[in-house]
A and B are shown apart, each in its own frame.
Chain A
Amino acid sequence: MFANLVVKESLEKVAGDWDFLQEKVLAHFSTFKAVGQNIYGIRRRYVGAAGIVDPQKGAISRHFEIGPQGKIEVLKQPLEISVTTSGTPHHVTHNFGYWHVNDMDELYLRLPGETPDALGYSLVIMGNPSGDECDRFAWYCERCLTILFERVCETGRLGFDVFWKSERQAVTDYNRDVANRTCPECGFINPRGYCWAVSKDNPEEREARAVW
């Protein structure tokens, strides 16, 4: 109905990255990128009924959250929009070696590839934090869930770009002393932490990634 009013120039010229799933655009979101009011992470991964497989990390299907009932596993199915609400500590096995506590809601969507062998898409979308809103990197005892260690990243005040440096520092600080990983309540020695990016793993962190 609005054909008379349509701009004649190419879409790319007038609208730039208008489809985040286009191959050339996708690369901008391989970690996280803020666009408008949200932050986007979009990755090509194998997505199927059996779970989600990252080419470097392997199976990263097990998503855990901590709430009043303790630690629970949340099944995130392909073709399902799921939202982990703000303030919920969450951890994905072999994907990042800490409990992430986000002041913003996190929305996940996994889309299978067009054929069983083709890579699909994994989308993580979260609100762009502002003001006092923060991200936290936390560790809880695997055996009794006592909080062991936490670092706060002021992403709202400093901007989301500080996230990765802050993550690296938090993991390094946690791993520095075995006392940080030793539960003051039950005495269990927890595995080391590791960062989201495989490329940042040192040998001990690589071992920890394989464990949890």
Chain B
Amino acid sequence: MTMTMDDPVLHYSLGLFPQGDETYFGEWQEAGLYWLWTGAQPAGDPPRTVWEKSEKGVVEFKADGYLAHPILAGKPHHIDHLFGYWHESDADRIWLQVPQKESVVHALVWGGKSGVHKQDRLLWLCPQCGSQIADCLIDTGKVGMEGFIAAQLDAVRRFNFDEAKRKCRSCGLVHPEAYGFYPRDDGAAEKASRGRW
């Protein structure tokens, strides 16, 4: 099909496995109202855990097989080794897990409803007592997806810069360093931290 610049986009396609020279794997992509990310881990690794903060405490979600887990807007959540903060979005997310022979593929589907992707909030919670240590608001509606990616890394770096800012005012525990979404951006301390939580 030949398309001109004026033609509307009818559809987007994103294989869960990269083929040929496709470079989207591990990168956020905009597909209409949805923002999509796919990635993989070796099949033998422990399953990734989604942590969600609820009124009663922290809830831990993980499974060995296929999984489609909704993460509703406004729910602070953290996915271990994927992003080093708790994320509260105004848009719903769906966490997908697709086991294959040699790897386990994951996808995050983010959005879908019109009028969202306006604001995101990153939080750091004390792993010992649950108190909030720091937070950062991102006006995603103004900066867009690429701006969000830059802003979350900036927030991570500011959190990591001063150990005093990572110390829990309630129990005194020093929160480990944070890390951003893309491993390629990790400094040495961020890389080590990604391996831990």
Q: Residues of A with Cβ closer than 8 Å to B?
A: 1-2, 4-7, 9, 11, 14-15, 18-21, 35-38, 42, 65, 67-69, 72, 74, 76-77, 79-88, 104-105, 107, 109, 111, 114, 121, 123, 125-128, 130, 133
Q: How far is the CB of B175 from chain A (nearest CB, A)?
A: 9
Query: Which residue on B lies nearest to A1, using beta carbons?
Result: B197
**Residues of chain B with a CB closer than 8 A to A80's CB:** 13-16
B141 within 8 Å of A (CB atoms)? no
> Contact between A123 and B68 (Cβ–Cβ < 8 Å)?
yes
> Contact between A79 and B8 (Cβ–Cβ < 8 Å)?
no
> Contact between B113 and A21 (Cβ–Cβ < 8 Å)?
no
> Contact between A81 and B107 (Cβ–Cβ < 8 Å)?
yes
> Contact between A111 and B56 (Cβ–Cβ < 8 Å)?
no
The residues in B between 27 and 80 inclusive whose CB is less than 8 angstroms from any CB of A are 31-34, 36, 38, 51-52, 54, 56-61, 63, 65-70, 72-73, 78, 80
The contact sample of 29 A-B pairs, CB cut-off 8 A, is A1-B197, A2-B125, A15-B52, A18-B61, A19-B68, A20-B70, A36-B70, A37-B111, A65-B10, A65-B11, A68-B7, A69-B2, A69-B3, A79-B15, A79-B98, A81-B38, A82-B12, A83-B13, A85-B8, A85-B10, A86-B32, A105-B33, A107-B31, A114-B65, A121-B66, A125-B109, A127-B33, A128-B113, A130-B115
**Residues of chain A with a CB closer than 8 A to B59's CB:** 6-7, 11, 14-15
Q: Residues of B with Cβ closer than 8 Å to A?
A: 1-3, 7-17, 31-34, 36, 38, 51-52, 54, 56-61, 63, 65-70, 72-73, 78, 80, 91-92, 94, 96, 98, 105, 107, 109, 111-116, 125, 127-130, 176, 196-197
Query: Which residue on B lies nearest to A156, using beta carbons?
Result: B114
**Residues of chain B with a CB closer than 8 A to A38's CB:** 70, 92, 94, 112-113
> Contact between B17 and A79 (Cβ–Cβ < 8 Å)?
yes
> Contact between A83 and B130 (Cβ–Cβ < 8 Å)?
no
Query: How long is the Cα–Cα vector from A72 to B7 in the complex, in angstroms?
Result: 14
> Contact between A4 and B11 (Cβ–Cβ < 8 Å)?
no
Query: Which of A80, A83, A109, A130 has the most chain B CB atoms inside 10 A of its CB?
Result: A83
